[in-house]
A = this chain, B = another copy of it.
Amino acid sequence: MVLRLGHRIPRDLRVTTHVCLTARAFGADGLILADVVDTTLEKTILDVCKRFGGGFWIRMGEPWRQVVKDWKSKDGEIVHLTAYGISLPEAMKPIKVTSGPKLVVVGAEKVPGEVFEAANWNVAVTNQPISEVSALAMFLDRYFEGNQFSMEFENAELKIIPSAHGKKVVNLAEPES
């Protein structure tokens, strides 16, 4: 599960959309948009899910402190992705060992110090200024060990078929009888 902090409407619509699409494609169950409700974002993501399938969900407007508190009360663990954290290769070892479900927290810009303290691990995908979109992709890639390349998305209406030089899309939706 991914928790997206700091989303500002409408400024962050495109980047947060990219965060959501990445979370979905790389195997996260769903994403919570903390504190705000962005119906444009929700509509975009639900439309992708309808067309391309899978069970990815999006929730919005929940205070992040409550999400964190609830998660921890159920023995969940928190990974916060930040340029200030421990480098991903080193951080992954303890993260993979523990069995608790993981909440991956990504911020937009200024992330409150409380998040750093609440996280079980603060993880950096390089200690350079980067994008939360690429940080999330890299973390999920390492966590799920590249499994995103063999995921199936059930109930898809459309499916892209890999092509060396073209664009092949198959319409899987049932024809109306």
Contact = CB atoms under 8 A, between A and B. Distances in A.
A112 to B, nearest CB: 12
A175 interface: no
A86 interface: yes
Interface in A14-54: 14-15, 18-19, 21-22, 24-26, 48, 52
Interface in A115-142: 116-117, 119, 121-122, 124-131, 133-134, 136-138, 141
Nearest to A151: B126
A46 to B, nearest CB: 13
Contacts of A85: 162-164
Interface stretch (A58-66, A68-76, A165-173): A165-173
Given A88-B149, A116-B165, A146-B89, A130 B15 contact: no
Interface string A73-112: 0000000000111111110000000000000000000000
B160 A83 contact: yes
Give the bracket for the number of chain A residues in contact with chain B: 35 or more
Interface of A is mostly: mixed
Contacts of A89: 146, 149
A153 interface: yes
Interface of A: 11-12, 14-15, 18-19, 21-22, 24-26, 48, 52, 83-90, 116-117, 119, 121-122, 124-131, 133-134, 136-138, 141, 146, 148-149, 151, 153, 159-169
Given A11-B14, A128-B160, A141-B141, 16 more contacts: A12-B14, A18-B134, A22-B131, A22-B133, A25-B128, A52-B129, A85-B162, A85-B164, A86-B162, A90-B162, A116-B167, A124-B162, A125-B137, A127-B160, A134-B134, A137-B137
